[in-house]
Structure 1
Amino acid sequence: MLPDSAGDAPLAGLTRAGDGPGASSRRSEVLPPPLPFYRKLCYAIGGAPYQMTGNALGFFLQIFLLDVVQLEPFHSSLLLFLGRAWDAVTDPAVGFLVSKSPRRKLGKLIPWIVFSTPFGVVFYCMVWFTPSDTMPVSLKFLWYLAMYCFFQTSMTCYHVPYSSLTMFLGGNQRDRDSATAYRMGVEVFSTLVGSGIQGQIVGRYHASMMESCSVPNGTLYNSTSPGLTDTLENTRRAYVIASVVLGSLYCMACLILFLGVKEQPGPLSPLGKAQLPFFHSLRIILGHQPYVWLLCGFLFMSLAFQITQGIFAFFCTHAAGLAGRFQHLVLIMLVVASLSIPFWQWFLVRFGKKPAVFVGLSLIIPALIVITLVSHNFLVFVFMVVLAGCSMAVLYLLPWSMLPDAVDDFRLKNPDCLNLEAFFYSFYVFFNKFAGGLSLGISTMSLHFAGYRASDCTHNPSVILTLRKGPFDPMW
């Protein structure tokens, strides 16, 4: 259970400009001016690249590596796990470097965001590039591992300072919660854009590859037939085109953030250099109980959702009989998640943040049960992904809305520990990515031990059982 200091009503005394040590003598001061709508919107748009690219990778990278690049499940699993482990380790390091950065003319956080963007775009496109089939498997493995790690490092340099920017927008706590709701709405919409663009561009090619199972040799695009070779090459080309489109949107979102948001330091957030060493800062932060409870809750929520996300395309293609239609289910899920954000924002204001978490996350349980039991029924799947989309909106909104409350509680209890906001947010991102790496490793290694082969048209019963009773088992 999450503690009250990380949860419900705004913390007493945090809505006034002079709050902090000795704030009781300044209660008559004027409240800070509210955040204008355009600043909230520009800030929210800045969160699009992380979710847009992250969800495209989450939904499609496994099936890309296995069915398009044709890596073995063991190599794919190892690549994904090592890449996410590297990504997770870089978060605290980048958070510490950001906290040690001086405040410059453009600010302390925004320069990190701007200068990491070109590298992020280039490496994202290279993740989806397919080397020659004559390249040895070991070199293919190293290529994708390097590109994946470089991209994740660039994205960390973007997202850690961006998420920390929540504390430096100005306004009061209600403004901050409102800006977070705008951000989550845009981020869920960006997952819709990213997964939608990727799915609509590559989905029909995956369906074409499944149709190649009708050839007499009974294997997928493993023949020397020119038609089958052309289908695979077209699929690879489609992935590159999708990456270029998403990379362009990445640059546009960064530009809007740069032009529309200016960092606003406060009495407890002077935007200076952190003075404490790394391990001392780490010990103090992880000794704050509300933050630790929130981290643990976020870890298990992310793990459950990302296991389901990573295997969803495989499940629809190979177990549910919906090959070529899973991209439509992804779109429906993300549209529902995006549209339900305002409802959950109202719910948390009316009933509190912890009740919103408990009610919202419970919606996915019946959806997973029905998805496990039903196949070849698109309408039933549509209704279930609607429920899953409502639950996904809670995962996007509530943890990030609760984190600033925990940071405020820490700052009130530790007034001498300044400029550690980036550290707080970096560990939050670290646990999210750790859950992602663990989920990818679990799901892909499960397929490996079940005997999955990319060239098979029909899979043995153990593979189907793994797809049905592994990630989609409600016990997860």
Structure 2
Amino acid sequence: MNDFLGDDNLIKTPITRKLDLKTKLAYGAGDLGPAITSNIGIFFMLVFFTNVAGIPAGLAGSILMIGKIWDAINDPIIGLLTDKTKSSRWGRRLPWLLYGAIPFGFFFFLQWIVPQFSPDQSSNIWPLFWYYVVIGIISQAFFTVVNLPYTAMTPELSQDYDERTSLNSFRFTFSIGGSILSLILAQIVFSQIADSQQQYLVLAGICAVVSILSLYWCVYGTRDRILAFEAQRIQREEPEEIPFFAQLKIVFTNRPFLFVIAIYLFSWLGVQITASIIPYFVVYCMGLKDSDVPTLMIAVQGTALVMLFVWSALSKRVGKKLVYFLGMSIWIIAAGGLFFLQPNQPLLMYAMAIMAGCGVSTAYLVPWSMIPDVIELDELQTGQRREGIFYGFMVLLQKFGLAFGLFLVGNALQASGFKESVAGQAAVSQPDSALFAIRIAIGPLPTICLIIGLVLTFFYPITREMHAEIMMKLKQRREGTGEI
């Protein structure tokens, strides 16, 4: 505590001051690494398992589900630990990014190796299964170590309702920009390297290095602002600490929070199902090449990146709810169109991808800009700042959505008769049942998820006016206790 009070630079960095561009850029950079690695995993890992490692689709989906379920379970635990972290030099969140960055990149890379446990491919399947399960669990643990504390930094960087939306637009500019960068890198690597196994190794190595460097940029670029918040937080008298299970009870009796996590769950379930099935849709339903997959993904992510700024500006005028409704409605139309597309309609496919990108950007922006408002309501009710546990459950739901989506897609493909292959084999012809399953996963399944999200958003209770009232009451409480 004395370290905080004795740092003149921190005293001169009031948290009420508007964020400068340098801090916003550094904060945004913190999502670059997780976005690059997640995007590569979402779009290519299932295909890597089935078409490079030669693992049956059902088992491949199970590998990803196991890793993500463990990842989801450890989120609230790490979130709580970050709330309890005490570091006068780095605060509560930054030490996790600082020390977790290198292991995060290293274990991500190990997921793209194909060890040969046996010369017989059929005997190699189960050893590969367990290798990817173990490495996946470790990799996802380090993903949580760097990503969960990072997401919990938003309300610490700014307490302004609209500035948080702006801050999240910077975050997701880097996030979607990282996704686009990963796809451009994939396109370059795939065009330069013929061997499919080497393609993924090189791509993973480049993405791991970029991820580590971007996390260090975030740590050093946001430190002053984060520690200014910490300096004020530790000066006020904290109420008696609430036990972990009592915290869980409070979290899940926070009605607006339940709406936010449900909206986020169904939004991201739609995103994950669509993302994991796109490579199969492009190759098997549209009759295009593997090299066309990154191009289509860039169309989606590029549109989402541009629309982030449009939706962010529009939300200041019409509110977060209407922005979400507009984006999701456009995406629903696109999902319906993709279901009916035929192989001779590639231009329409790109048009639908651009429309889907308009909706994807609201799935990034809106739920994450709602969660800080929920945290302030919790502070008003309990007297404690508990960003970690709220963001922990937010990320938990994202990963459950991803795990369930990948498991559902993998097992649906296997049940429909999808034929896997291994690196070096010619492309196999898929039965009509598998092609129909791919079309169901690209259209109707995401549509159902998005419609449920729209219904939940309609009933979300926190408006701009309600948030202003919450902040006014918090300000009165702090002034009454002599807080800065």
In 2, Cα distance between equivalents of 1:138 and 1:344 = 46
- Which letter does structure 1 place at the counterpart of 2:348? V
- AA aligned to 1:81 is M
1:295 paired with 2:256, answer no
- Between the two proteins, the alignment pairs up a number of residues equal to 418
State the shift of 1:202 in Å: 3.1
- Please show how residues 185-224 of structure 1 align to structure 2 within 5 Å: 185-202=173-190
Asked if the contact 2:302/2:357 (under 8 Å) is kept, the reply is yes
**Greater percentage in helix:** 2
Matching residue of 1:390: 358
Query: How many Å apart are 1:269 and its aligned residue?
Result: 4.7
Change (3 A) 1:98 1:475: closer
Give the match for residue 470 of structure 2: none
Could you tell me whether the CA contact under 8 Å between 1:59 and 1:195 is conserved in 2? no
Q: Which residue of 2 aligns with 1:5?
A: none
Name the structure 2 match of 1:445.
Answer: 411
Aligned to 1:369: 336
Indicate yes or no: 2:415 matched with 1:431: no
TM-score (norm 2): 0.82
What letter matches 2:371 in structure 1? L
Q: Does the 8 Å contact 2:47/2:279 carry over to 1? A: yes
* Correspondence for 1:343 among 289, 292, 310: 310
Match of 1:241 in 2: 202
Gaps of 5+ in 1: 1-29, 206-230
Q: 2:110: which partner in 1? A: 126
C-alpha separation in 2, matches of 1:284 and 1:383: 45
In the alignment, structure 1 residue 378 sits paired with structure 2 residue 342: no
* Code of the aligned partner of 1:337: A
CA–CA separation in structure 1 for the residues paired with 2:309 and 2:203: 30
Report the equivalent of 1:468. 439
CA shift for structure 1 position 69: 0.5
For the 8 Å contact 2:375–2:386, the answer to whether it is kept is no
1:95 and 1:116 mapped to 2: Cα distance? Answer: 14
Contact 1:184 1:396 (C-alpha < 8 Å) held by counterparts: yes
- Is the Cα contact below 8 Å between 2:375 and 2:385 reproduced in 1? no
> What SS does the corresponding residue of 1:265 show, helix, strand or coil?
helix
Distance 1:243 1:287 in 2: 41
Unaligned 5+ runs, structure 2: 1-13, 422-426, 450-484
RMSD: 2.1
The answer to whether structure 1 residue 179 and structure 2 residue 163 are counterparts is: no
Q: Distance in 2 between matches of 1:193 and 1:407?
A: 33
Pairing of 1:37-436 with structure 2 (within 5 A): 37-132=21-116, 134=118, 136-170=124-158, 172-202=160-190, 234-262=195-223, 263=226, 264-265=228-229, 269-270=233-234, 275-324=241-290, 325-376=292-343, 377-415=345-383, 418-436=384-402
**8 A contact 2:76–2:392 mirrored in 1:** yes
Offset, 1:54: 0.6
Aligned to 1:215: none
Change over 3 Å in CA distance of 1:159–1:388 after alignment to 2: same
Please give the per-residue CA displacement for 1:435-472, whole angstroms capped at 9, x wherever unaligned: 00000010000011111111462111111111112342
Alpha-carbon distance in structure 2 between the residues aligned to 1:267 and 1:167: 15
Structure 1 residues 131 and 273: CA distance shift in structure 2, 3 A: farther
SS in 2 for 1:261: helix
Moved over 6 A (4+): 271-274
Q: What letter matches 2:265 in structure 1? A: L
Q: How many Å separate the matches in 2 of 1:174 and 1:31?
A: 15
For 2:438 and 2:169, locate their aligned partners in 1 and report how far apart those are by CA, in whole Å: 34
300 and 46 in structure 1: CA distance in 2 versus 1, 3 angstrom threshold? same
| Rounded Cα–Cα distance in structure 1 between residues aligned with 2:336 and 2:158 | 44
- Counterpart of 2:303, as a letter, is V
Quote the Cα distance in structure 1 between the aligned partners of 2:258 and 2:234: 24
Q: Give % identity.
A: 23
Confirm or deny: 8 A CA contact 1:99 1:274 kept in the other structure: no
The Cα shift of 1:47 comes to 1.1
How far apart are the structure 2 equivalents of 1:112 and 1:273?
A: 25
Q: Distance in 1 between matches of 2:220 and 2:66?
A: 36
